[in-house]
Amino acid sequence: MDSNTSLISPGGQILGVPWETFWTAVGWLANATFSSRFLVQWYATEKKKQVVVPQMFWWLSLLGSLLFLTYAIFYDKHNVIIFAYAFTWIPYSRNLIIHRRNKAALALCAGCGQKNPPQANFCPNCGGKLT
């Protein structure tokens, strides 16, 4: 296989992308992390057969946006990109906080052990009264 058809070329390129700096790797890692959140959400939705946004979606959103922000500040230095990711961590963090509080507030059914929303009065699994 010659260098024109090789995945890794002698010039330091992988799939035609030059990997000359650490920051190139950070930028691609940010892109992969941020993009993978859609696969996680799609999988969770297909599994439950209803639209859901799992906690991992928010973790990938937070990590990906912080990686993009780091890349933009220290390497790209483009104010449009910096501004695009400067505040995205706020709703992602807030959603993680809400998720944690909601999970902690779940009511445990004494009859069957199923976790139920805090506003529920009866367990949908066994019909037992929740306290």
pTM check: above 0.95: no
Residue 92, domain member (yes or no): no
Residue 73, domain member (yes or no): yes
As a whole number of angstroms, the distance between CA 82 and CA 97 comes to: 25
Q: What percent of the chain has pLDDT over 70?
A: 85
Q: How confident is the model at residue 2 (pLDDT cuts 50, 70, 90)?
A: very low
pLDDT of residue 8: 56
Residue 113 in contact with residue 125, Cβ under 8 Å? no
Residue 71 in contact with residue 58, Cβ under 8 Å? no
Q: Supply the range of the domain harboring residue 53.
A: 19-87
The total number of structural domains that make up the chain:
1
Angstrom distances, CA of residue 18 to CA of 7, 8, 49, 68, 124: 12, 10, 41, 18, 56
Residues 90-119 pLDDT 10s: 999 999 999 999 888 888 888 888 888 888
Residue 123, domain member (yes or no): no
Rounded to 5 degrees, what angle do the CA atoms 41, 62, 116 make?
55
